[in-house]
Amino acid sequence: MHDLSTLRKAVIEGEVAASVSAARQALDQGVQPLDLISQGVSPAMAEVGKLFEEGEYFVPELLMAARATKEIFQILRPLLAQSGAKPMAHVVLGTVQGDLHDIGKNLVAAMLEGGGFEVTDLGVDVSPEEFISVLKKKPVQIVGLSALLTTTLPAMKNTIEAFRAAGIREQIKIMVGGAPVTMSYALSIGADGYSETAAASVDLARRLMGA
Ligand code: B1M
């Protein structure tokens, strides 16, 4: 396995050009896109979060690391979509209303795409009405909700309740995740599954589809 420490270091330091070039180099040397995410980008962003919590990093450093991650995804997205196989299911993904954190959700989107799912990413601060409007327009098998703030956990619950009120809850499977979310919280709000990491979300989505 190619050493991804250069890539991780570049992302942690928010060096956008160096991150992109380390990602290209790793791909050229045969690293698979999913391994690049799970062993490169994902642990690097976890480290960035830790540095922020320890007071070593401030918002500008966070945003530079997030930008580096985004640029890497621009390269990975077409590669992840390349398999040509029929998607296993259509997943609609979003960070719930009031919450602007999207780094973890973007990792989940990339891992699901790489795992053979079609993903529609609605972005951040997604209201229940926005989810419902998309769900009414096209066939969707799984909805993925992300939340990073304890104050936006209720929005996750409200979204599921809104699906119920709109009569569409039973048509979909719902998976949830994000740092403050736990399995017991997921079950208490009526979600079908919880995954702690982006990598584990692929297995969860497969299980929800009965695969
Ligand atoms: Co914010 N923030 N933030 N922040 N931020 C946290 C979450 C916080 C814990 C930091 C702290 O104070 N210690 C804290 C929340 C406290 C709490 O609620 N208990 C916090 C706060 C308070 C805030 C603000 C309120 C700060 C302020 O303005 N006073 C504000 C809120 C804005 C808003 O959302 N309305 C805010 C703003 C921001 C930035 C904009 C600066 C930036 C976000 C940039 C962006 O996302 N584009 C930011 C960041 C970066 C963080 C930290 C440092 C890092 C989050 C992150 O990206 N982690 C975070 C502290 C921390 O987590 N250590 C913090 C890396 C990422 C890979 O992990 O997102 O957990 P994570 O995703 C994981 C899993 O959770 C999982 O997979 C991912 C990878 O394995 N996962 C899923 C996530 N979603 C999933 C969905 C799934 C399955 C798995 O299925 C659907």
The secondary structure of 179-203 as a DSSP string is: TT--HHHHHHTT-SEE-SSHHHHHH
* 8 Å CB contact between 14 and 61: yes
Residues 71 and 62: their CA atoms lie apart, in Å, by: 14
Helix (H, G, I), strand (E, B) or coil at 124: coil
Residues 191 and 194: their CA atoms lie apart, in Å, by: 8
Provide the pLDDT confidence category of residue 7 given band limits of 50, 70 and 90. Answer: very high
85 Cα: distance to centroid of ligand 1 (angstroms): 33
Provide the pLDDT confidence category of residue 77 given band limits of 50, 70 and 90. Answer: confident
Dump pLDDT digits (tens) for 143-176.
999 999 999 999 999 999 999 999 999 999 999 9
Tokens (6 digits) for 8: 């991780």
- The identity of residue 107, as a single letter, is L
* 8 Å CB contact between 113 and 81: yes
Residue-averaged pLDDT of the chain: 92
Q: Is 200 in the pocket of ligand 1 (CB under 6 A)?
A: no
- The average pLDDT across 188-205 equals 93
Of 125, 128, 127, 123, the closest CA to residue 108 belongs to 123
29 Cα: distance to centroid of ligand 1 (angstroms): 32
Provide the pLDDT confidence category of residue 103 given band limits of 50, 70 and 90. Answer: confident
Provide the pLDDT confidence category of residue 85 given band limits of 50, 70 and 90. Answer: low
Q: Is 0.85 topped by the overall pTM?
A: yes
Protein residue with least CA distance to atom 19, ligand 1: 150
Name all contacts of 35-40 with Cβ < 8 Å and 24+ positions apart. Answer: 35/1, 36/4, 36/7, 36/72, 36/76, 37/76, 37/107, 37/110, 37/111, 37/114, 37/198, 37/199, 38/111, 38/198, 38/199, 39/1, 39/4, 40/4, 40/7, 40/8, 40/11
Mutate to test the pocket of ligand 1, among 126, 148, 175 (most ligand atoms within 8 A of CB): 148
50 Cα: distance to centroid of ligand 1 (angstroms): 11
Q: Is 195 in the pocket of ligand 1 (CB under 6 A)?
A: yes
Q: Terminal CA-to-CA distance of the chain, rounded, Å? A: 29
Q: Is 43 in the pocket of ligand 1 (CB under 6 A)?
A: no
Provide the pLDDT confidence category of residue 113 given band limits of 50, 70 and 90. Answer: confident
Q: Is 198 in the pocket of ligand 1 (CB under 6 A)?
A: yes
Q: Is 49 in the pocket of ligand 1 (CB under 6 A)?
A: yes
The phi, psi pair for 173, rounded to 5°, reads: -100, 145
Dump pLDDT digits (tens) for 28-59.
999 998 889 889 998 898 899 889 889 999 98
